[in-house]
Chain A
Amino acid sequence: DTAVSQTPKYLVTQMGNDKSIKCEQNLGHDTMYWYKQDSKKFLKIMFSYNNKELIINETVPNRFSPKSPDKAHLNLHINSLELGDSAVYFCASSGWDGARGEQYFGPGTRLTVT
């Protein structure tokens, strides 16, 4: 009964490909996020959705397109992958909006672009 799950856990692909990462939460939360963690462990928010509505888009290249089919799911599609996209991507959810409460993180998806 994982709270926040992501698939796949590992993703190895070549430059120029398009890939998707899926995220699901079973906590009943209204707010979901995507974060990117680089090789130095620096964690930066990419997107925030509240009840399927985009709230934060943190100047992420438009090759990254989040999609929220319902409030329990927030998927991340990445077009034309670049070497610099290699990182660990974390999905998170919260019962609070506006970072007013704790966030629950998924296990991460390690993306390697070759």
Chain B
Amino acid sequence: SQQGEEDPQALSIQEGENATMNCSYKTSINNLQWYRQNSGRGLVHLILIRSNEREKHSGRLRVTLDTSKKSSSLLITASRAADTASYFCATAHTGANSKLTFGKGITLSVRP
């Protein structure tokens, strides 16, 4: 399966701390994407990193990609209570008509 697998499954931190979430996958990818889902809502795209990139930043988000280890990490710095949500990594494998394959998600709780 190409499915990304995130870890940990759940993470609870104090407001102001950093949150690090990891994702591993099995086959070659074109890109890897991170999404956030607030309870009862749709997914919101956070950041996309292409296979030839190693690191990207967007505001308080930092994503790294290690294609040799087939892994990615999402770092949220200076977390806020509003960051409480589920976070999903999704991989797009190489090839025509590729699709996004989502992991099972990480539940992040940020305590005020």
A interface residues (Cβ-Cβ under 8 A, vs B): 4, 40-45, 48, 55-56, 58, 90, 92, 97-108
Contact = CB atoms under 8 A, between A and B. Distances in A.
Contact of B102 (A43, A58, A100, A104): A43
A99 B45 contact: no
B92 interface: yes
Contacts, number: 62
Interface of A is mostly: loop
A57 to B, nearest CB: 11
Interface residues of B, number: 25
Interface string B1-33: 000000000000000000000000000001101
B104 A40 contact: yes
B99 A45 contact: yes
A43 B97 contact: no
Contacts of B41: 107-108
Contact of B100 (A42, A103, A106): A103
Given A100-B31, A101-B48, A43 B43 contact: yes
Contact of A99 (B86, B98, B104): B98
